[in-house]
Amino acid sequence: MGFFDPPAPEPQPVHRAGKDLTCAHCGHAAFYAGEAQLNTQGLTFLGLDWLNGSADYFACAHCGHLHWFLQVLP
C-alpha cells in the first residue's frame, strides 16, 4: 500500500435475500465486499470479455471464507 492510497475499507455486515449473512465456516458477521467478472472460454476467445456476467463476493473478515452471489437480473 502506497502513501497516497485510500485507507482499506472496514468490514461491514451484509444483508442479502432477506437475511443477514453469517460466515458458513466460522459464524462471523462482518465481511469485505467485492465484485468479480465471471469469464467464459468462448467470450474470452472472441475478445468479448465485457459480455460476461459478474458476481458479488463477500470475504469473511475473521477467516477469509468467500461467499458468492450472482447478480440476477429482474
Q: What gap in Å lies between CA 13 and CA 27, rounded to an integer? A: 12
Which of the residues in the chain have pLDDT under 70? 1-2, 72-74
For residue 2, the model assigns a pLDDT of 65
For residue 66, the model assigns a pLDDT of 96
For residue 44, the model assigns a pLDDT of 76
For residue 1, the model assigns a pLDDT of 54
For residue 25, the model assigns a pLDDT of 97
For residue 61, the model assigns a pLDDT of 96
pTM for the predicted model, two decimal places = 0.74
Sheet arrangement for strand 31-37: 31-37, 54-60, 66-70
